[in-house]
A and B are shown apart, each in its own frame.
Chain A
Amino acid sequence: MREDSLFRDEQFEVRLIQGRLQFLGFVLLVCMALLALRYHYLQIEQFDRFVTLSDDNRIHVRAVPPTRGLIFDRNGVLLAENRPSYTLSVVPENTRNIDELVNKLAAVVSLSELDLERFHEQMEVKRRPFEPVPLRYSLSEEEVARFAVQEFDLVGADIQVELIRYYPLGEYFAHVVGYVGRINDRDQAAIDAEAYAGSHVIGKTGIERQYETELLGIVGYEYVETDARGNVLRVLERHHPIPGQNVYLNIDSELQIAIHDELRGEQAAAVAIDTISSGVIALVSTPSFDPNLFVSGISTREYSALIEDPAKPLFNRALQGQYPPGSTVKPMFGLIALQEETITPEFTVFDPGYFILEGQERPYRDWKEQGHGTVDLAKAIEESCNVFYYQLANLTGIDALSDYGYRFGLGHPTGIDIPGEQSGVMPSPEWKSAARGIAWYPGDTVNAGIGQGFLLVTPLQMAQTTAVIARRGLVTTPSLVYSLNELPLAIEVNDQIEIDSEHWDLVSHAMRNVVHGTYGTGRAIGVGLEGYEIAGKTGTAQAISIAEDVRYDDLELEKHLRDHALFVAYAPVSDPRVAVGIIVVNGEHGGSMAAPIARLIFDTWLAKAGSDASVDDLIEDNLSVTN
């Protein structure tokens, strides 16, 4: 091998390699020129042919939206369904001049300002190519026919049969089921665009929003061959979508409708909870609205009418309305005082019609001017004696009332399964210094004792605390949804408030006497009641602050300044099945305005064949599970 290098002619080799390199360079140049020629041929000479081919490319990938899950009440009554509807859409890729096409379409179907505005908004949203942009929803049969005649001249426009959401029971369930609406920019930022390909709506409120993921389903895809106009000729390959899950509510639509009709015309809210299952069997807030207006986009006029209505139909009073609970908190505070041993069942107060807090001159008045005389706890609940409760609160102190009140469900959301719930206020010295920046005064405790002052509750919380009392301390999360795709959801047990059973007995008997006793403030609804007994408590809450020592005449007040009427109750007393919380805003007296709704609920609900399980069983079951 060594001789190789000895005899190598370096100059010859260099020239040899360089010669070959020159040849290689030449080949390289020729090949690159060939490439350039080929691309020139395709892109310049054959441009017209290929641009047509590209425009005509016939096979598209289309998203197939899943069918949204249905919503039923507990008996299978349909609350939200999907109805076929004709939608006029434009595929921007299939038309050269969108504005011209829209103008032509306006001559065939009626297009409102709102339709156009919505269309232009949708055009801005990022979408898959060849995905139709909706222009007009719910075309009439006549409009569909007119379009069919003119179709040859309307290339790029298309009518699709689409399933759109429909709420057959409209306003009765607007505050429970909620509604779906167009996906807006804010939604767009929060969702997975892929999962919503082909879907135009998303749950905005209520069950529709809370259970959006379950209701939505999983999107499918199909490869379709189309003609030059974008009309689908055949489906080449299809990956089926998976429909959304069906949602069954605990709500009884018959009960819901009956309550709603009874409260029509009032600003009111009523919540009924099945104490055994923790299911919410009715949740009414009046006035309500037609959720169908929102499905394909509400007009500005209709929307401002709803917004400007002084009765606030969009406001869900049952969850979001926060009111002073008034005397409806008395049974709970009575239980707390007994358990804390700040009073005994035999403890009495003499009520001269007012209460003087030590060191203060200002009297705290009772609603009954001449006073209730000598009062014990049972009588204080039955007759709703304020002076007894001023004393009770003063003796028990705000800390115990606040701590227990919180456990009973005040001052924090109940955790019900729809969004928007308010927490209310269970005041405490810490709360007051944090929220108001001032110290707690003894007078604040006295006011809280009768459910006034800083104390605020939602109607849902009223029903919830009453259910806790009915269940003798067992705290569960109230739930609207019974099952998803027929699979029942678990009951959430949160707490067991330990109070001696004789105290429960005393308070439930006193609450019974509110309805069934001779002097009970709710005795009007006990009239003619057979077969079961009701335990209740009336409440009247001041809508405005009136100086304690000024007398006023109810009738002279404007309606919006009148007191709120409240009522909480559960029944049957012996074996509680259902607990309710009711408020009629500016309804004046709980006994006369709110209590009849409770009677209606109990009569309707208890007449239906209920579950044989009792609260005791439930407590037993859950305790054995959780402990």
Chain B
Amino acid sequence: MSQTDFVRSLPDVESDSSKTTLWQVIHIDLILISSVLITLAFGLLVLYSASDGQIFFVKRQMAMAGAGLVIMFGVAQIPLSVVRRWVWLPYIGGLGLLVAVIYVGTEVNGAQRWLDLGPVAFQPSEIVKLCLPLLVAAYLGKRQLPPRFKHICASLCMIALPAGLIIVQPDLGTSLLVAGSGISVLFVSGLQRRYMLAATLLLLVSTPLVWQFGLHDYQRGRIITMFNPEADRLGAGWNIIQSVTAIGSGGWDGKGWLLGTQSHLDFLPEGHTDFIIAVLAEEFGFRGVCFLLAMYMIILGRGCWISYTAKTPFSRLASAALVFTFFIYVFVNMAMVSGMLPVVGVPLPLVSYGGTSLISLFIMVGILMAISTEPGTLKS
């Protein structure tokens, strides 16, 4: 794409100042922010238990959340036109870091995902995860919809570049998630049915080939494990058996906060990061799970509404993509820990321990709030 693609006059939007509230002026969406904060607080409670009463993790997570809130507030103030026009910059930067991570990244669990910058280590894939849907939204937002074939191809290129770089780390899970968030923009922008049909067919044909040649042993192992965890009790199946046992033994009421036997007996690996929902389910029971699902539903529902009522094509597409990304993370994580999907390294939004993902979540919320409080009226 060329620079001129982004140079286009704003749609002629006249602000309707008659009903502007203070919250709109400072770009805060009350429903969104309060449900996010409640979920976060609940998550900290679970994290304290999951880290075996080590306050260190909770303190760090709180510090990160504090920083995230400030960043979110800042992001919400950025005019969306600026985001739309400049999002390619962090995207290119993210790609550069993804290349860098292949050479100088820190290896964790057999994959190079981390960039160690002295005191902070972070995953460059987080940057791309955030920028890619925004970039595709910015690109398609000023095209005629539904997108034409050449625009679809251009969008797919934008998606394929980071997804490919993440696959070679190798991190299949994140790569699929990043691709998914980009494709969601294409879908919302009104991709014709014939393209979707073709893509589905292509997927069906290529799957056996990918299985045979495109996957690492450990990735194949994870998929096999999903279908038959008992086959390898102490190896790859261990995580799933233990997490499902933890969830199931929680029952309706749960075993009580800090009292989960599975989680506290070190049966549960990664209890404070990717598998934290198992700790929650064990200690707070089905009621706790329902509460968390309800909070997520409020966040997602509000997100959908923001997208539905957004003022510009870019806003509509971008917010839809962000909501979809958030949803994908919730779904994949909760499905994986409960044995519905293979194990991929996906954190549970707002609950899992991890600074990078928390901050990028807050940036997402910041952009959503900017869209929600965007001045102007729906052009229809």
Contact = CB atoms under 8 A, between A and B. Distances in A.
Nearest to B310: A17
A53 B187 contact: no
B380 A10 contact: yes
B286 A43 contact: yes
A53 B248 contact: yes
A32 B296 contact: yes
Given A21-B307, A43-B248, A43-B286, A57 B261 contact: yes
Contacts of A11: 380
Contacts of B327: 28, 31
B300 interface: yes
B192 to A, nearest CB: 11
A31 B333 CA distance: 12
Contact of B245 (A17, A25, A54): A54
Interface string A18-52: 11110011001001101110111011101101110
Contact of B262 (A7, A14, A47, A54): A54
A8 interface: yes
A130 interface: yes
Interface stretch (B59-67, B111-119, B249-257): B249-257
A21 B189 CA distance: 9
A57 B145 CA distance: 56
B286 A35 contact: no
Contacts of B286: 39-40, 43-44
Contacts of A190: none
B380 A39 contact: no
Contacts of B289: 36, 39, 43
Interface stretch (B70-78, B197-205, B334-342): B334-342
Contacts of B187: 20, 24
Interface string B129-166: 00000000000001111100000000000000000000
B196 to A, nearest CB: 11
B379 interface: yes
Given A13-B145, A14-B379, A47-B251, A39 B338 contact: yes
B378 A54 contact: no
Given A18-B308, A24-B324, A28-B327, A51 B248 contact: yes
Given A28-B300, A28-B327, A42-B248, A35 B334 contact: yes
Given A11-B380, A17-B145, A54-B261, A25 B251 contact: no
Contacts of A57: 245, 261-262, 265, 267
A369 to B, nearest CB: 76
Nearest to B244: A42
Given A28-B327, A35-B334, A130-B265, A54 B246 contact: yes
Contacts of B250: 43
Nearest to A10: B379
B-side interface size class: 35 or more
A484 interface: no
Interface string B77-120: 00000000000000000000000000000000000000000000
A16 B249 contact: no
Nearest to B277: A39
Contacts of B322: none
A415 interface: no
Interface residues of A, number: 45
B264 interface: yes
Classify the interface of chain B: helix, strand, loop or mixed. helix
A424 to B, nearest CB: 46
Contacts of A59: 267
Nearest to A13: B145
A33 to B, nearest CB: 9
B231 interface: no
A229 B189 CA distance: 61
A308 interface: no
A331 B304 CA distance: 97
A60 interface: yes
A57 B260 CA distance: 13
Contacts of A38: 335, 338, 340
Interface stretch (B26-34, B36-44, B173-181, B313-321): B313-321
Interface in B277-311: 281, 285-286, 289-290, 293, 296-297, 300-301, 304, 307-308
A24 B245 CA distance: 32
B376 to A, nearest CB: 13
A44 B252 contact: yes
Contacts of B266: 61
A95 to B, nearest CB: 14
A42 B247 contact: yes
A300 interface: no
A25 B340 CA distance: 21
A47 B188 contact: no
A36 B289 CA distance: 8
Contacts of A44: 251-252, 286
A503 B212 CA distance: 98
A34 B340 CA distance: 10
B211 interface: no
Given A4-B142, A21-B307, A50 B249 contact: yes
B8 interface: yes
Contact of A42 (B189, B261, B338): B338
Contact of B378 (A1, A14, A16, A93): A14
12 contacts: A14-B380, A20-B320, A21-B316, A21-B320, A24-B304, A40-B286, A43-B251, A47-B252, A53-B245, A54-B248, A59-B267, A129-B264
Given A51-B249, A57-B245, 20 more contacts: A5-B142, A13-B313, A17-B316, A20-B187, A20-B190, A24-B188, A36-B289, A36-B293, A38-B335, A39-B338, A40-B286, A42-B338, A43-B252, A43-B286, A47-B248, A47-B251, A49-B248, A50-B248, A51-B248, A53-B248
Q: Which 6 residue pairs across A and B have the least CB separation, nearest first?
A: A50-B248, A54-B249, A43-B286, A16-B190, A42-B248, A50-B249
